[in-house]
Amino acid sequence: MTNHLLRRLLLGLAFISSALHTLPVSAVPMINDPKGFQNIEWGAALAGRKDVVPSRTGPHVTEYRSIAGPASFAGAEMTSILLLSVDDQFARVTIRYQGEQIHARVMQFLEAQFGPLERIPGQMARGLNQQYNWRGPETEINVTYQANTERGFIFIDSRTLAPRFNDHITDSAE
């Protein structure tokens, strides 16, 4: 009897822990689709631009970083901002940041620019891993924030070009 009760208690704790670990993700319809990032349209060639330099190149995917100074987004300094092209077409932005205050500023900016998040009554607003999504006709924005390490990641993708990154992942990739 005691083993059965203990097993049920541990199972219940595991369920609650997993529920608190990650928040459910649902994309909010985006208002004001940016159709790119910082005045660079999706599909544009990044090679040869004077404001970015390649930081990692491959046969199909090239990563660029800005030479304009500290990485800045949403009025705050970011850890890094990388622009990625697939087959010489601008397709993705990857932004990394650190800190709870920066996260709050990022979220405020994104909600002001692209629309408020849907707040469901009873939904938890905090958790170990928080995810937020906005989806427009041409752009999708995904934010992941790890509360325990205070690290945030923003992915801004072309909805038509970003899936092509998957075409260049080999079958042997693990």
CA distance 10 to 77: 43
Q: Looking at this protein, which amino acid is placed at residue 47?
A: A
pLDDT in tens, 24-78: 456 788 999 999 999 999 999 999 999 999 999 999 999 999 998 889 999 999 9
CA distance 92 to 85: 7
Q: What is the rounded average pLDDT of the residues 147-174?
A: 83
pLDDT in tens, 69-78: 889 999 999 9
Between these two residues, 89 and 4, which has the higher pLDDT value?
A: 89
Among residues 93, 103, 102, the alpha carbon closest in space to that of 161 is found at: 93
- For residue 79, pLDDT over 70 is answered with yes
Between these two residues, 7 and 141, which has the higher pLDDT value?
A: 141
Q: Which of 13-17, 131-135, 149-153, 159-163 has the lowest mean pLDDT?
A: 13-17
Residue 131 contacts residue 22 (beta carbons within 8 Å): yes
Domains of the chain (ranges plus CATH)?
A: 24-167 (3.40.1000)
